[in-house]
Amino acid sequence: GFSDAVTEAFVRLCDSGLIYRSERLVNWSCSLESAISDIEVESQELSGRTLLSVPGYDRKVEFGTMVTFAYPLDGQDGEVAVSTTRPETMMGDVAIAVHPDDPRYQAVHGKQCRHPFADRLIPIVTDTMVDMQLGTGAVKVTPAHDHVDFQLSRRHSLPCLTVIAGDGTMAPSCGQWLEGVKRFDAREKVLEALAEKKLLRGKKDHAMSLPKCSRSGDVIEPLLKKQWFLRCEDMASRAIQAVEDGQLEIIPHLHTKTWKNWLSNISDWCISRQLWWGHRIPAYQVAFPGSSANQEERWVWGRSEQEARDRAASQYGVAPDALTLTQDPDVLDTWFSSALFPFAMLGWPQKTVDLQQFYPNSVLETGSDILFFWVARMVMLGTELTGQLPFKQVLLHSLVRDKHGRKMSKSLGNVVDPLDVISGVSLERLQEKVTAGNLDPRERAVSLEAQRKEFPKGIPECGTDALRFALCSYRAQGEDISLSVSQVLSSRHFCNKIWQTVRFTLGVLGDGARELDTLAETRPLSSMDRWVCSRLYSTVLQCERGLEAYELSSVTAAIYTFWVHSLCDVYIECIKPLLTQQDLDSSSMADHMASERQAARTVLYHCVTVPLALLAPFMPYLTEELWQRLYLPPAGAGGQSAAHSSLCLQPFPRSSELAHWHAPEEETDFLLIQEVVRVARSLRAQCGGRTLLRYQPAVHTLSRISTLHIHCPQGTPSLPSTAPPPKGSTSGGDVDRRILQLSRRKEKLLPKRTEWISRTQAPGYLEKVPEHVRQEMDNKICALENEVKNIEEQLSALDQHKA
């Protein structure tokens, strides 16, 4: 199983020398009581004194201050003042470091200071890493609790004293007055003790970067621990090279730079964790019973305890029963086992059929926030253990933010739970969730108010398909999504539109669905049939190109445009009279109408079923339900296979199947017809005319007017859309009514325009508001101003007409 694959990977990496055990400073989460990796550490920037909540503390803890206290010189008068942001670690100080060129401390080079709370001396050492401008220019050296100090201790052969335990309390080595005290409570006790000894020299604000655990929110404590590490430098170099050579493509390409930066500065990965769950490390400590010698740590590893015992016996030249093995209680980092997923799930290390057929994969789809956590590690371990990249492309999806572009945060009250969008939720229930949380009172009040403003009526039920379709409809590939519930609601309305369209289609087909021609056999008769079939071909082609380029928004836009604007707004409206018209007395005319009616039914059926198949990846539940309700035709001629009983088994539509429907001239010609319809509807709306002249059946039906004749002698100039109607074309009452409508509309638009413009002129707008949000606002203002301008032109034209 998968666990065997994890064990195999660990053993192979140990055998190759890539995994080793070492005592080093690790990032330790006291609340988790476990080491965490470097990339699980988040830095919080503090500009000065800040009170923060820390897990395990009832009160907030002060950070962002620098404390200065003095160490008395031994054997002479004087002192050396040091500055630190962590006075609680002074019990682990083993030296004081100054810059060799600092004139203030030339006289104390090589001297010693006496620790005020411990019976020991600490030397004064010189090191160029000391910043003479920071604090007093003299720093305390605590190798067991600071990464920089640890490196300095190696250069000067200084010891390491651990004074903070894994649970975040002070160790027994600190003395009874601090033993068992929480580290940040100990900070206050140390400051009080320094003040009593008159060694405290001051405290001031200090800008700093505070490391925190991304999983627990705890402040990271560097601790000296023996852990298992994985050497990453060579594997990381190969991962960088794979992207540079084009063997691995990261989409969008803007993340390629991040990939290189991360892997170029990689450090060895601490892969052991002190947790109760996970894959236990298959390493065993070797001991020799009866030996009185001080035994150093000896470790072996194996796929089983027996294999490890045999290895140990061979390595140390003893009989297998002359030694004891104790398995390491630690477990492997979750990301280690996750990095094996592409090949371990297929049966590796066995050469299974699945592994040979499906590894390497073609594309990995994931989020940019785990590009290093997971993707880079899959690439490194996959290449190392299998000799192949686990996939050829990495597609990074967007991260969801609120509609204003802000990161979702409980303290802002802008967190949108997908389940609430899917099933709907009342405002009362939303606020109950906040109240039941652990926010402090002020944050809770802000959150509740934000919810009342954002969701005054709660969140309406939208459904899973609508949410998925809405998320895939955002255009920015790889960028953050500013999710608006109204966008998801629009997708729900689209779902309703699809349902009603299929319902209409079923009513039109009746019991004659099995008499319909297949795709290959269907030959549209009328111009409208040829136009909509050509539009369907263009839609399938656009979907193919969008999916190949991973531009899902272009796919959803193509399907939506065809279904709503081509199929529903135009084609179905045009064929309704044909489908409901009574047969004429003439048998020849009746046969002709019957043929047209049957052709329209066939075209309608395919214009519904093909887009349903296109929609299936985005709306699997709705499309499957509707597919089951449609009567599917049996296998027909033209090489088309029988339709499957389930839509998920149906072949995805291909443009090559519809190439015989491609009629670009029909699509081009119909653009003129649509423009005529648009202008006719606009004229009717503006002028309130009861009848217009007849043009042709399509225009007559779509514009919902009586009759329209168009006569354009050669050389006749075009008439602007805002030109005044001819006198006498409308009654005085119609003109007055239209002027009133336009004036009221203008009164509503002007305050909105003023409000939007004032937002863009607010201080810090350019710096604080994301670019895509600013662009959206600019587009809204532009559209509103165009509408106001159009209304003013219409009012002017109507005033001239009235005069």
pLDDT for 447-468, tens place per residue? 888 888 888 999 999 999 999 9
User: In terms of Cα–Cα distance, which of 600, 629, 518, 501 is closest to 559?
Assistant: 501
Residues 64 and 119 grouped into a single domain:
yes
pLDDT at residue 462 in the model: 93
pLDDT at residue 718 in the model: 47
The answer to whether position 544 is within a domain reads yes
pLDDT for 200-242, tens place per residue? 999 999 999 999 998 888 999 999 989 999 999 999 999 999 9
Residues 112 and 192 grouped into a single domain:
yes
Mean pLDDT on 690-696: 43
Residues 367 and 252 grouped into a single domain:
yes
pLDDT range class, residue 589, cuts 50, 70, 90: low
* pLDDT of 711 above 60: no
* pLDDT of 726 above 50: no
**Average pLDDT over all residues of the chain:** 86
What is the percent of the chain where pLDDT is above 70? Answer: 87
Residue 209 maps to which CATH number? Answer: 3.90.740.10
pLDDT range class, residue 545, cuts 50, 70, 90: very high
CA 676 – CA 682 distance, rounded (Å): 10
Residues 88 and 215 grouped into a single domain:
yes
Q: Which residue has the higher pLDDT, 157 or 526?
A: 157
312 within 8 A of 322, measured Cβ to Cβ: no
Residues 535 and 601 grouped into a single domain:
yes
Residues 386 and 411 grouped into a single domain:
no
Mean pLDDT on 627-646: 59
Q: State the pTM of this model.
A: 0.71
pLDDT range class, residue 720, cuts 50, 70, 90: very low
* pLDDT of 703 above 70: no
pLDDT at residue 355 in the model: 96
* pLDDT of 594 above 60: yes
* pLDDT of 76 above 70: yes
Residues 560 and 442 grouped into a single domain:
no
The answer to whether position 440 is within a domain reads yes
The residues with which 454 forms a beta bridge, in sequence order, are none
270 within 8 A of 336, measured Cβ to Cβ: no
pLDDT at residue 756 in the model: 85
301 phi, psi to nearest 5 deg: -140, 160
Residues 83 and 159 grouped into a single domain:
yes
pLDDT at residue 106 in the model: 94
Of 247-256, 308-317, 754-763, the poorest mean pLDDT is in 754-763
pLDDT range class, residue 713, cuts 50, 70, 90: very low
pLDDT for 390-422, tens place per residue? 999 999 988 888 777 777 766 566 778 899 999
The answer to whether position 453 is within a domain reads yes
Distance (Å) of CA 290 to CA 294, 295, 310, 318, 320: 11, 11, 20, 14, 15
Of 317-331, 599-613, 723-737, the poorest mean pLDDT is in 723-737
User: Exposed, middle or buried: residue 798 (CB in 10 Å: 0-12, 13-18, 19+)?
Assistant: buried
Distance (Å) of CA 601 to CA 308, 513, 565, 625, 697: 73, 9, 19, 21, 19
Of 52-56, 380-384, 728-732, the poorest mean pLDDT is in 728-732
* pLDDT of 688 above 80: no
The answer to whether position 629 is within a domain reads yes
pLDDT at residue 371 in the model: 92
DSSP codes of every residue in 583-640: PPSSHHHHHHHHHHHHHHHHHHHHHHHHHHHHHTTT-HHHHHHHHHHSPPP---STTP
Contacts of 579 (CB under 8 A, 6+ apart): 508, 597, 600, 601
pLDDT range class, residue 803, cuts 50, 70, 90: low
Q: What DSSP designation does 413 have?
A: T
Residues 151 and 94 grouped into a single domain:
yes
Total tally of structural domains belonging to the chain = 5
Q: Which residue has the higher pLDDT, 263 or 785?
A: 263
Q: Which residue has the higher pLDDT, 433 or 324?
A: 324
pLDDT at residue 416 in the model: 83
Scan for tokens 């016996």, then name that residue: 313
Residues 424 and 393 grouped into a single domain:
no
Q: Which DSSP helix (H) or strand (E) runs through 150? A: helix 147-156
Mean pLDDT on 307-331: 93
Mean pLDDT on 42-47: 90
The answer to whether position 700 is within a domain reads no
Residues 186 and 266 grouped into a single domain:
no
Chosen domain end from 397, 420, 447: 397
Sequence-ordered alpha helix ranges (H) in 424-526? 427-435, 441-454, 464-472, 485-509
* pLDDT of 585 above 60: no
pLDDT at residue 349 in the model: 95
Chosen domain end from 223, 246, 268: 223
* pLDDT of 647 above 90: no
Q: Which residue has the higher pLDDT, 719 or 624?
A: 624
Chosen domain end from 397, 414, 435: 397
The answer to whether position 558 is within a domain reads yes
DSSP codes of every residue in 297-354: P-EEE-SSHHHHHHHHHHHHTS-GGGSEEEE---EE-HHHHHTTHHHHTTTTTS--HH
The answer to whether position 613 is within a domain reads yes
What is the percent of the chain where pLDDT is above 90? Answer: 56
Pair type for strands 50-52 and 61-63: antiparallel
Instruction: For residue 206, give the 3-state DSSP assignment.
Output: coil
Residues 534 and 493 grouped into a single domain:
yes
pLDDT range class, residue 699, cuts 50, 70, 90: low
C-alpha torsion angle, residues 13, 18, 19, 22 (rounded to 10):
170
- Count of other CB atoms within 10 angstroms of residue 101: 11
Mean pLDDT on 91-112: 95
Residue 583 maps to which CATH number? Answer: 1.10.730.10
pLDDT for 649-663, tens place per residue? 889 999 999 998 999
When mean pLDDT is compared over 295-299, 505-509, 604-608, the highest value belongs to: 604-608
CA 349 – CA 356 distance, rounded (Å): 11
* pLDDT of 534 above 50: yes
CA 531 – CA 524 distance, rounded (Å): 9
The residues with which 456 forms a beta bridge, in sequence order, are 458
pLDDT at residue 706 in the model: 59
Domain range spanning residue 356? 2-18+231-281+328-397
pLDDT at residue 683 in the model: 67
The answer to whether position 667 is within a domain reads no
If phi over 0 gives left and psi between -120 and 50 gives alpha, with beta otherwise, what is residue 387?
Answer: left
pLDDT range class, residue 684, cuts 50, 70, 90: low
Q: Which residue has the higher pLDDT, 768 or 746?
A: 746
Q: What DSSP designation does 104 have?
A: G
User: In terms of Cα–Cα distance, which of 711, 788, 722 is closest to 751?
Assistant: 788
